[in-house]
Amino acid sequence: MRYKLFGRSGLRVSELALGTMTFGEDWGWGASKEESHRIFDRFVEAGGNFVDIANNYTEGTAETFVGEFVAHERERFVVATKYTLSKNKDDPNAGGNHRKNMVQSVEASLRRMNTEYVDILWLHMWDGMTPVEEVLRAFDDLVRSGKVMYVGFSDTPAWVVSQAVAIAESRGWTRPVATQAPYSLADRSLERDVLPMAKALDLALTPWGMLEGGVLTGKYNADTGEARRYGDDPQSDRELKLATVLKDVADEIGRSPSQIAINWVRQQPWLIIPIVGARTEGQIKDNLGCLDFELTADQLHGLSEASPIQLGFPRSFLESDGVRGLIFGDTYNLIDPS
């Protein structure tokens, strides 16, 4: 395992993060405590130090497990958790991005993990109601209190994150250093604005959903009748065809489709720290095998061609030859961008 700087910060995180939504059996399909510990141990043995949780994962069990697993060397690990999602469907303030929920959620997370601080606090999902200034000032207060070290935005529109960075910098508040969102060969929508924003603002991206709930591993291509674990939408014909393409590449080089799918994301030209999860020790071992090789330029190109993206306006407009000619004349290809 190698390490990367976490966006515009000096924090060193492993090039893969361990996702823990499977830690605990409260939702009916996760891993037992013993199996979760084995998954954690294999990740650490590979050099991993970055663990990603959320306060709602398996009703808080994931935080409890991780707190126990890191307790013997708490300072070694970079532990990230999230707040936002409702803990009481009858209470309008039990969820959301506002300060009350943020503070109460962090305090509860610290108790569950039996720790004095979290390394990274994510806003989990944008609620569309809370002023971004309220979020940022509450973030800053938690950082100044020592209960949080760094902050980031997960599942939030690019324009909101951009606004947050600008406001934080202008007011001397804690600056977000990362963003998190779904990204996979089957879903490249982040390339429209989130990834260019992250590059421009020096934000790390921690993508989730690289295997599309297991669809890209090929497990559903056998028509077993098994339903996709996440969400209500069934796997599409397009996704199943992509799974076949991934399997062809995997068979060609003696790797697994999961490793190919992860490496396609891992090798994109952005600051990306993929989140890998597992329900079994065998799955995490297989996923970690992605570190043992890299896809060739031809393989990356072939996979991308199998799942093209329509960038849409404004990128498709501004990056067209015609518009570049209007802006730069005949000099565009003579300019070395920074």
Would you list the DSSP string of 4-28? EE-SSSS-EEESSEEE-TTBSSTTS
Determine whether 143 is exposed, middle or buried from the number of CB atoms within 10 Å of its CB (0-12, 13-18, 19+).
middle
Residue 292, helix vs strand vs coil:
helix
| 50-52 vs 78-83, strand pairing mode | parallel
Q: Residue 21: what residue type?
A: M
Side-chain-side CA neighbours of 89 within 13 Å: the count stands at 0
Between CA 123 and CA 71 the distance in angstroms is 24
Residues 6+ apart with CB under 8 A from 13: 3, 4, 6, 49, 50, 78, 204, 273
Q: How big is the chain by its Cα radius of gyration, in Å?
A: 20
Q: Known catalytic residue: 57?
A: yes
Say which of 57, 83, 183, 220 is annotated catalytic. 57
- In single-letter form, the type of residue at position 208 comes to W
Joined together, the tokens standing for residue 330 give 């005949």
- Torsion angles phi and psi, residue 49, rounded to 5: -130, 0
Bridge pairing between strands 204-208 and 12-14? unpaired
Residue 285, token pair as written in the block: 């071992």
Say if CB 245 and CB 216 are below 8 A apart. no
Both tokens assigned to 260: 């190919």
Structure tokens at 18: 């361990």
What is the CB neighbour count within 10 angstroms for residue 333? 8
Name the DSSP letter for residue 195: H
Active site residues: 57
